[in-house]
Amino acid sequence: MLNVVILAAGKGTRMHSAKPKVLHTIGGQPMLAHVVASARALKPARMIIVVGHDAERVQAVFSGVNDVCFALQQPQHGTGHAVQQTVDQLLGKDALQDKTLVLYGDVPLVQPETLRGLIDASQNGMAILTEHLDDPTGYGRIVRDQQGHVAAIVEHKDATQSQRAINEVNTGILVAPTQALKGWLAQLDNNNAQKEYYLTDIVGFARAQGVPVYAAHPNNQWETLGVNSRAQQAACEREWQQAQAHALLEKGVSLADPARFDLRGELHCGRDVFIDVGCIFEGKVHLGDGVHIGPHCVIRNTTIEAGTTIHAFTHIDGAQLQDKTQVGPFARLRPGTQLGQGVRVGNFVEIKNSRLNTQAQASHLSYLGDAHIGQRVNIGAGTITCNYDGAFKHLTVIEDDAFIGSDSQLVAPVTVGAGATIGAGTTLTRDAPAHALTLSRAKQETITHWQRPKKKANSK
């Protein structure tokens, strides 16, 4: 039986933010959400988040989540004190088999595979996740005994010259037998300069009782990066994005520059997908076979089917695009947009809550909101569906093979019949019949003696 305790009580003073540190994001998700996701993959019997600073705000992020419970650390007196607050909630009675894993809400990128390795390494004792650093300055050093087990964790300021030469350091992440851990937590004291209860002191208690202390290492060095400042957050973000980019490359996705790619959710790609520089993907995005995404696009919660090309600087949110569509550059597809097979949407076209059926096209400079647009419809430049009357939204229907001339305003609710033509410059306020020309223009006149107003010579 496995318990997971996640320490998330700190304020994060160095972030200089009103937001709790663990709610700052990496890859579009709160840091704490990353840790919870990795812990959840282990299928623990209980997951406890220790909250403190702005506790209600942190808890609200996980409201309605059934597999998470909370413990309050108020005030905060160190990592050992934080874990002490969970003792009454820890499950398990088997002295060796029941374990408790301690994670940190500001170490967001640790992966389930690494945690499984740590649990396996604990065997009949406890285990600590350690890391080898080229520059271990400031970190607690791992001192081993002749059997290779962890003998002690020595803080940098307390280390001897020879101990400071050790480059294996403590990450803080550990797993211990639950029943033994409860006893060790009860022995903690705060007889130190910081007057805090340190979780690392349990290593000495374990050794004194003859409980072996093992070590395991992360699969990737970036997994143990902690975030205490904006600079560390930015560094962590880049490491995460590089890892996501590498995973996509391994699956056959072509990235123009992996260093200029941002994933803030889930991205699922078919074969032969190409993604140009500067693109951002948020929420859940699916790209079908052969999709081409041009530079500097933002795509959120969208499905784009095979053979589609999205040109530069296009924003798509909550849309569904069937195969062989073309969109952009500089287009905006808002939630509820559905594009049928072969639809073409050009530059500076905005579409919201509208369906364009097979081979319809709106090539430039138009707004289409709350509209059902049939097959092979042509939307001329400057066309607007006037869908909002100041209180309610209304529907525009344009049936198959209609032609909408440039600079037309379709005042909803209104229907344009199949095969109809709307003359350029028309303001349509009533239904237009099928297979006919409808237009509304004032008669053109020329006034021959008219003169343009001129300023007087001395006027300013």
Residues annotated as catalytic are: 364
Is the C-alpha dihedral spanning 42, 43, 46, 52 positive or negative? Answer: positive
Cβ contact 374:399 at 8 Å: yes
Sort residue 78 into left (φ over 0), alpha (ψ -120 to 50) or beta: left
- Please report where in the chains the tokens 């540190």 appear, as a residue: 21
User: Which one-letter DSSP state was computed for residue 442?
Assistant: P
Looking at residue 11, its amino acid is K
Paired sense of beta strands 332-333 and 315-317, if any: parallel
At 142, is the secondary structure helix, strand, or coil?
Answer: strand
Query: Backbone phi, then psi, for 454, in 5-degree steps?
Result: -130, 150
At 352, is the secondary structure helix, strand, or coil?
Answer: strand
Sort residue 313 into left (φ over 0), alpha (ψ -120 to 50) or beta: left
At 172, is the secondary structure helix, strand, or coil?
Answer: strand
Measured at the CA of 137, the angle between CA 132 and CA 143, to 5 degrees, comes to: 55
Q: C-alpha distances in angstroms, 352 versus 304, 320, 333, 386, 389?
A: 16, 12, 6, 12, 16
At 58, is the secondary structure helix, strand, or coil?
Answer: helix
Under 8 Å CB-to-CB from 391, ≥6 apart: which residues? none
Sort residue 38 into left (φ over 0), alpha (ψ -120 to 50) or beta: alpha
Between CA 78 and CA 340 the distance in angstroms is 58
Between CA 246 and CA 264 the distance in angstroms is 15
Token representation of residue 182: 């409860």
Between CA 237 and CA 229 the distance in angstroms is 12
Cβ contact 197:184 at 8 Å: no
